[in-house]
Amino acid sequence: MIGEASGLAPDRGLNILYRVTMNTLMNLTETDLTQANYTNGNAETITNTRLSANTPKGLLAGSVVKCSSTAGAVEKALGAANEGAVGIVINNAVGYPFESSSGVASGKCPYIHGSGTVFSTDLYETFLQNGSTALAWAAGDQVCASRNGLLTRYAVNQTSSNEILGIVLIAPSASDPFMVVQMRI
Which candidate, 82, 122, 139, places its Cα nearest to that of 2? 122
How would you write the pLDDT of the chain (185 residues) with one tens digit per residue? Answer: 444 444 444 445 799 999 999 999 999 999 999 988 887 667 777 788 888 888 888 899 999 999 998 899 999 888 665 577 899 999 888 866 666 677 777 889 999 999 999 999 999 999 887 778 889 999 999 998 888 889 999 866 555 557 889 999 999 999 999 999 999 98
pLDDT of 130 reads: 76
Model pTM? 0.86
Among the listed residues 82, 80, 62, 65, the one whose alpha carbon sits nearest the alpha carbon of residue 31: 65
Q: Which amino acid is at 5?
A: A
Q: How far apart are CA 92 and CA 13, in angstroms?
A: 8
Res 81: pLDDT: 55
Q: Which residues contact 18 (CB under 8 A, 6 or more apart)?
A: 116, 117, 118
Radius of gyration of the chain (CA): 15
